[in-house]
Amino acid sequence: MWLKPEEVLLKNALKLWVTQKSSCYFVLQRRRGHGEGGGRLTGRLVGALDAVLDSSARVAPFRILLQVPGSQVYSPIACGATLEEINQHWDWLEQNLLHTLSVFDNKDDITSFVKGKVKALIAEETSSRLAEQEEEPEKFREALVKFEARFNFPEAEKLVTYYSCCCWKGRVPRQGWLYLSINHLCFYSFFLGKELKLVIPWVDILKLERTSNVFLTDTIRITTQNKERDFSMFLNLDEVFKMMEQLADVTLRRLLDNEVFDLDPDLQEPSQITKRDLEARAQNEFFRAFFRLPRKERLHAVVDCSLWTPFSRCHTAGRMFTSDSYICFASREDGCCNVVLPLREVVSIEKMEDTSLLPNPIIVSIRSKMAFQFIELKDRENLVEGLLVRLKQVHANHPVHYDSSPSDDDMTSSVFYSTSMCSDKFGDLEMVSSQNGEEKEKEKSPLPHPEPLTVFQQSGCQSPDSRLSREQIKISLWNDHFVEYGRTVCMFRTEKIRKLVAMGIPESLRGRLWLLFSDAVTDLASHPGYYGNLVEQSLGRCCLVTDEIERDLHRSLPEHPAFQKETGIAALRRVLTAYAHRNPKIGYCQSMNILTSVLLLYAKEEEAFWLLVAVCERMLPDYFNHRVIGAQVDQSVFEELIKEHLPELAEHMNDLSALASISLSWFLTLFLSIMPLESAVNVVDCFFYDGIKAIFQLGLAVLEANAEELCSSKDDGQALMILSRFLDHIKNEDSPGPPIGSHHAFFSDDQEPYPVTDIADLIRDSYEKFGNQSVEQIEHLRCKHRIRVLQGHEDTTKQNVRAHMMSCYWEHPRPMPLRHDPSRPYAEQYRIDARQFAHMFQLVSPWTCGVHTEILAERTFRLLDDNMDQLMEFKAFVSCLDIMYNGEMNEKIKLLYRLHIPPALTENDRDSQSPLKNPLLSTSRPLVLGKPNGDTIDYQKQLKQMIKDLAKEKDKTEKELPKMSQREFIQFCKTLYSMFHEDPEENELYQAIATVTTLLLQIGEVGQRSSSSGSCSQECSEELQASAPSPEQDSVFVETGKPPQDPRAFPEAGEGDWTVSLEHILASLLTEQSLVNFFEKPLNIKSKLENAKLNQYSLKALEMSHPPQPELKLNNL
């Protein structure tokens, strides 16, 4: 590897290096202790020095120095891990530079020329290896050479980054280097003559955590199925740990199918992943989680700044985040002030005059006549330029339509009105419009029922006056807040608004605030007519998803009057079906119906649809799919939070997974299915404002309120009863509507009245006691536990595959343990016998030969059974399939050739005695064959030249295969003939194989005569001049009804020396383009596997529906 020249004094390194070669200008040196001639003690001392000084990634065993005669200063220009590698560089220098340097008179000119040439070589090599993507290309290239030499991975295994660290082996630290690649974590250490290499695939890591031991306070512990490894003494442990988390997460996500997980475009190709890409991914994930933005949003810049906050009359320090469609701000003090500005709402972005009081200010103006002032922005020019470009693009993609007729007499329209609304339907933000507004709405809306289904009825309430007065007080507080903090999605989000949300949002404002907090209002305004089109496209279609939706429609809030009528059911059906049509990866999942039902109570149908989009795709990622991975990850996070905040309860509940199973519905339905509806909507209020954090802290508050009873519970059933009874008795004293029964009302049939808990008190306690969890902490915990959950799914998949293999290919349970060895590598753990292999071969092999397939399968099994134990490993089977499907033509022909010579073909082969039942035509046929158009082609010269070329290209180290006898050749021909059956080019292939067979028979016969007479060149030349055969003779296979005309045409193998080699066969096949096309055409194994699965399922179903006949007779008796 070429190095950037740096000057060194040679006298300082004489004791560590030994000169191997030298010339006028260059010196090749070997590191003392490496290779031959190095003293054993010296080598250990030098290795120990390299390890202690962290120099093992910088010091290669060999190097080349540039020396100028008469100077004591030398410059390293190349290094190598092996002698062969450094000799290549030395040879290049001798051939390209050594003679050129003699023309220079000035020593400085020589030095400058060589350094410039080496730098040019480095630049060329750097661009080819993508090293320019790293922060320090020189050091990265050196580490890359070490990584490749030490671990010998394929070229596709890309090194991402590397770190100096210690690996603990018991109580002894081993100083070395940690290499993180796309698929592996590797560690190398060389200390006092002892070499240590560790290779841990990311897919094998069960747990990745930061721990402490008796020697160090901060250590990274990696847990696999069999061992734990501790790494410490990192220069920046936070960076290393985040990089490990990202690589493990990306690898495990890619290992599973891409049904749910959509990786960033930069991470789709593993060979292109860099450290910078992973850091950007981590920043993007935090940004989207913190502000709950769509997954497609890509972060562009994060800059420190200060924002003018009019409510506090000062500038608040924080950070600005800019992405494709948003400008966001977060204060340094968590929860002090956050702002989300969709670029769709932005009118202008302007730079103000720079002053001492307002350094580098910009003004962002929005459509609701508000302006945001940011100051102390570094690199303001480039920041504003990028924002203006994206602002123009957003407005071009989603033009803004103004609404000139807002309703002035509505109490809430003045609060929420924004000129960004796309039509009258969205400009009038009220729960119940005026009569004229309703008529206008019905005319414009393409949907049957655009308004909210119902507002809670006030008749039948206890103390209606007091409850209405509380509702009016809340509305008044919200109106005052809107005046001071803003009334659109661009409002200042502070601790004050969190307290208002915790009190419960007024019924008349709930749906609109949900839209603002989730930013679904931006999606709604950006996609006019989108929902209506989805409804038209999706309704009337019948599939599995629609069947599931229909089944659950009447189970969605059946106690609520709105869903006891067809109007509510139809609206719910439209929203769920439209979303399943929009996102088929999710489709429909249970619990979506309950959530959507509640959304329809407070929002118009189209608004409810976009709220559902926000919940499923942004706020609860990976929750709603058949694996429910997101919910499982959060359950694991919840268990850890229980251990941290409620240690006594965690100690009593030895198995916290029981609590996790109970609390799963809390997360999936946001407490809507296990709490009275009028109380649960307050939880949904907090969820839309604070995200999943609100559910975590409320879950902890529920457990703490019942901790004493739970600690005294005897089993999981009693714990479930305690929690269900508590949740069923949570009331909302401020609700203006009548109480709605919950799904768990049957738990409250007690003789004694159960104490009632007010939802506002419970939410307040959750914020006060457990509200200190930040979004960053929750995301870190999610990443930590996602590795374990994904690993668990991988293990489950392996178990399912094992069970499927056993059910399909092992009829009796007795031989299973004998054919499964868990101690072996996974691809070699399972073994099958000849009968099972034959069955699988017929199912998945592309070489279908009719009745001959079974015989070919037997020969393949004998060929692959190297140890002759009558069992085959999965790895060997897959390797054979790989050649059949993906191999080149010469590899396929070689495999076929080996299948027709021993050990695959035996003397007792059941099809080896009379393979064709008819003789081949006479072998005394010429090698000059006639073509239909009358032209003739002399194949003799072509064959000779091809055989010579193949002999030249043949690998000298490859063991030569034995030649094929005539009996074996006949078997080979029969297999080829069977393979072409039912092929679209069947006739052309038959004619081609007839030609090739004739050629090979001639070659074999010529070789036979040559071996018997010693010289037959003249005879051969005479025979080859014979006339061309007739069309009737130009066929390999004669009609089956005719007896052999000349039994001597097929002498036994022992009667003569008739043989052909693999090179003869391959060269002959290459003369026919149709045969070349047949063996080189692409084959798709996916369809074959799908058909194999269907075949197996059909057989199983047939076996289950038709029991064995003897058993039927016994039953009939």
Q: Comparing 737 with 671, which gets the higher pLDDT? A: 671
Cα 894 → chain centroid: 36
Q: Which helix (H) or strand (E) holds 255?
A: helix 237-255
Whether residue 846 is predicted with pLDDT greater than 50 in this model: the reply is: yes
Rounded distance, CA 1098 to CA 124, Å?
A: 58
Return left, alpha or beta for 773; rule: phi > 0 is left, psi -120 to 50 is alpha, else beta.
beta
Task: Evaluate whether 880 touches 892 at the Cβ level (below 8 Å).
Answer: no
Lowest mean pLDDT among 177-191, 328-342, 540-554: 540-554
Dump pLDDT digits (tens) for 345-373: 999 999 998 888 889 999 999 998 899 99
And the tokens for 870? 């009558």
Whether residue 397 is predicted with pLDDT greater than 90 in this model: the reply is: no
Q: What is the pLDDT confidence band of residue 609, given thresholds at 50, 70 and 90? A: very high
Neighbour-count burial of 1086, counting CB atoms closer than 10 A to its CB (0-12 exposed, 13-18 middle, 19+ buried): exposed
And the tokens for 278? 């992973």
Return the exposure string of 701-738: e unless at least 16 CB atoms fall within 10 Å of the residue's CB, then b: bbbbbbeeebeebeeeeebbebbbbbbbbbbbbbbbbe
- If DSSP codes are grouped into helix, strand and coil, which group holds residue 30? strand
Strand ranges inside 455-510, DSSP E: none
Task: Evaluate whether 639 touches 788 at the Cβ level (below 8 Å).
Answer: no
Rounded distance, CA 82 to CA 62, Å?
A: 7
Q: Which helix (H) or strand (E) holds 371?
A: strand 371-375
Return the exposure string of 893-922: e unless at least 16 CB atoms fall within 10 Å of the residue's CB, then b: bbbbbbbbbeebbeeebebbeebbebbbbe
Task: Evaluate whether 293 touches 618 at the Cβ level (below 8 Å).
Answer: yes
Rounded distance, CA 17 to CA 15, Å?
A: 6
Dump pLDDT digits (tens) for 863-877: 888 888 888 888 888
Cis peptide before 903 (omega within 30 of 0): yes
Q: What is the pLDDT confidence band of residue 291, given thresholds at 50, 70 and 90? A: very high
Rounded distance, CA 914 to CA 763, Å?
A: 87
Task: Evaluate whether 515 touches 524 at the Cβ level (below 8 Å).
Answer: yes
Q: Comparing 715 with 481, which gets the higher pLDDT? A: 481
Task: Evaluate whether 684 touches 673 at the Cβ level (below 8 Å).
Answer: no
- If DSSP codes are grouped into helix, strand and coil, which group holds residue 902? coil
Side chain identity, residue 241:
F
Q: What is the pLDDT of residue 510?
A: 93
And the tokens for 335? 């929860």
Contacts of 365 (CB under 8 A, 6+ apart): 346, 347, 348, 349, 350, 371, 372
Q: What is the pLDDT of residue 214?
A: 60
Side chain identity, residue 840:
M
Side chain identity, residue 681:
V
Rounded distance, CA 606 to CA 45, Å?
A: 75
Contacts of 95 (CB under 8 A, 6+ apart): none
Q: What average pLDDT is seen over the chain?
A: 76
Dump pLDDT digits (tens) for 777-807: 998 898 888 888 888 777 776 666 666 666 6
Give the 3-state secondary structure of 579-638: HHHHCCCCCCCCCHHHHHHHHHHHCCHHHHHHHHHHHHHHHCCCCCCCCCHHHHHHHHHH
Q: What is the pLDDT of residue 605?
A: 94
Phi, psi of 165 (to 5 degrees): -165, 180
Q: What is the pLDDT of residue 784?
A: 86
Contacts of 485 (CB under 8 A, 6+ apart): 311, 491, 492, 494, 496, 497
Q: Which helix (H) or strand (E) holds 67?
A: strand 62-67
Highest mean pLDDT among 756-765, 838-847, 1016-1025: 756-765
Contacts of 50 (CB under 8 A, 6+ apart): 56, 59, 190
Q: What is the pLDDT of residue 190?
A: 83
Predicted TM-score of the model (pTM) = 0.63
Q: What is the pLDDT confidence band of residue 49, given thresholds at 50, 70 and 90? A: low
Task: Evaluate whether 767 touches 759 at the Cβ level (below 8 Å).
Answer: no
Q: Which helix (H) or strand (E) holds 78?
A: strand 73-80
Task: Evaluate whether 315 touches 334 at the Cβ level (below 8 Å).
Answer: no
Rounded distance, CA 710 to CA 721, Å?
A: 10
Return left, alpha or beta for 376; rule: phi > 0 is left, psi -120 to 50 is alpha, else beta.
left
- Number of residues that this document lists for the chain: 1117
The closest of 195, 191, 190, 187 to 167, measured between CA atoms, is 187
Rounded distance, CA 539 to CA 757, Å?
A: 43
Average pLDDT for residues 286-314, to the nearest whole number?
A: 91
Task: Evaluate whether 806 touches 264 at the Cβ level (below 8 Å).
Answer: no
Rounded distance, CA 392 to CA 383, Å?
A: 14
> What are all long-range contacts of 537-540, with beta carbons under 8 Å and residues at least 24 apart?
537/581, 538/577, 538/578, 538/580, 538/581, 539/574, 539/577
Contacts of 811 (CB under 8 A, 6+ apart): none
Whether residue 307 is predicted with pLDDT greater than 90 in this model: the reply is: yes
Q: Which residues pair with residue 63 across a beta bridge?
A: 29, 79
Q: Comparing 627 with 610, which gets the higher pLDDT? A: 610
Rounded distance, CA 328 to CA 340, Å?
A: 5
Whether residue 628 is predicted with pLDDT greater than 70 in this model: the reply is: yes
The owner of tokens 């003679």 is: 99
Share of the chain above pLDDT 70, in %: 72
Hey, how many other C-beta atoms are within 10 angstroms of the C-beta on 817?
Answer: 8
Cα radius of gyration rounded to whole Å, the chain: 39
Rounded distance, CA 165 to CA 57, Å?
A: 12
Average pLDDT for residues 724-728, to the nearest whole number?
A: 91
Dump pLDDT digits (tens) for 229-285: 889 878 788 889 999 998 988 887 777 654 444 555 556 677 778 888 888 888 888
Lowest mean pLDDT among 541-555, 954-968, 1062-1076: 954-968
The closest of 1083, 1060, 1063, 1073 to 890, measured between CA atoms, is 1063
- The DSSP code sequence of 110-158 is HHHHHHHHHHHHHHHHHHHHTGGGSSSHHHHHHHHHHHHHHH---TTS-
The closest of 147, 228, 210 to 182, measured between CA atoms, is 147
Dump pLDDT digits (tens) for 96-146: 777 667 767 777 778 887 887 787 777 656 544 444 445 567 778 888 888
Strand 194-201, strand 928-930: pairing: unpaired
Whether residue 7 is predicted with pLDDT greater than 90 in this model: the reply is: no
Rounded distance, CA 781 to CA 787, Å?
A: 10
Q: What is the pLDDT confidence band of residue 343, given thresholds at 50, 70 and 90? A: very high
Whether residue 411 is predicted with pLDDT greater than 50 in this model: the reply is: no
Q: What is the pLDDT of residue 629?
A: 85
Task: Evaluate whether 810 touches 816 at the Cβ level (below 8 Å).
Answer: yes
Neighbour-count burial of 544, counting CB atoms closer than 10 A to its CB (0-12 exposed, 13-18 middle, 19+ buried): exposed
- If DSSP codes are grouped into helix, strand and coil, which group holds residue 164? strand
* DSSP conformational letter for 932: T
